[in-house]
Amino acid sequence: MSSMADRRIARCFDTAQKTGNGARKMIIPFITAGDPDLPTTLSLMNTLVDAGADIIELGVPFSDPMADGPVIQAANERALKHQVSLEQIIDLVAEFRQSNETTPIVLMGYMNPIETMGYKRFAEHAAAAGVDGVLTVDLPPEEAEELVAEVNAKNIDTIFLLSPTSPDNRIKQVCEQVSGYVYYVSLKGVTGAANLDVDEVSRKVTNIKSMSNVPVAVGFGIRDAESAKAVASTADGIVVGSALVSLVAENAENVDNMRKSLFELVNAMRVAVDEIEA
């Protein structure tokens, strides 16, 4: 079994620390698997890498995505119309791995599909396919021991969320259990919300970093190159979801336009974020 440092996500952040002009900031796009269909998702994954993505978060559709706003809820509904399953999404990652062995893939979703599959079977199947991390929105660290044990044994990282209301003792607890990176939710509310307070995010990220050396990625409210650059000046990475999922919906009838619009947004973020002085 390889060590934590040999995992793709850790390698990704380690390599970022060694770039010529200081640390490269991670760009972590999120798309919902199966929206509009699985072959298009695979195509979009490759487009995101070409645009400058470092890590990809793949949303696992669920019928009751309570942390998500209307944009991602609608994406879940579109994917579930095709009965897209966790099994099929893991197979999709295996297909992606045939042409890309380096870009980490994180499955983001809710506990129900994993519990239905069974922790052990999920860990084995996901590891064999080349999944690197799992972020389960409705699983608090206090209840995660069983899942963490199974996926950790297969070298899959468990990523947990911190929010603007997380007190210091909670931050410490999460940082002790997390691997890969911490996902800091920059806003109170659901995905796709607006009104991002960059100064407040900066203070929170600095505070989290004072308690742990686990990389911090920030998501919620990042929708363009400007907000990406502002947040990435403090964080180790930025997660962009609703802005991309909106583009998928807007271009549902034209996959070429969909790919083009996703490429342009992520690439603009890549260019902006790379301008940050270390």
Handedness of CA 89, 90, 95, 96 (dihedral sign): positive
What burial class does residue 212 get, using C-beta atoms within 10 Å of its C-beta: 0-12 exposed, 13-18 middle, 19+ buried?
middle
Given 14, 50, 54, 68, which residue is catalytic? 68
Q: Where are the alpha helices (DSSP H) in the chain?
A: 8-17, 38-51, 70-80, 86-97, 111-117, 119-129, 145-153, 168-177, 198-211, 225-232, 242-250, 255-274
- Which token pair is 32? 């919902």
145 part of the active site: no
By the 8 A CB rule, do 93 and 67 touch?
Answer: no
CA distance 227 to 246: 17
Quote the DSSP letter at residue 180. S
115 part of the active site: no
By the 8 A CB rule, do 268 and 222 touch?
Answer: no
β partners of residue 182: 216
Given 57, 132, 157, 236, which residue is catalytic? 57
By annotation, the residues acting in catalysis are 57, 68
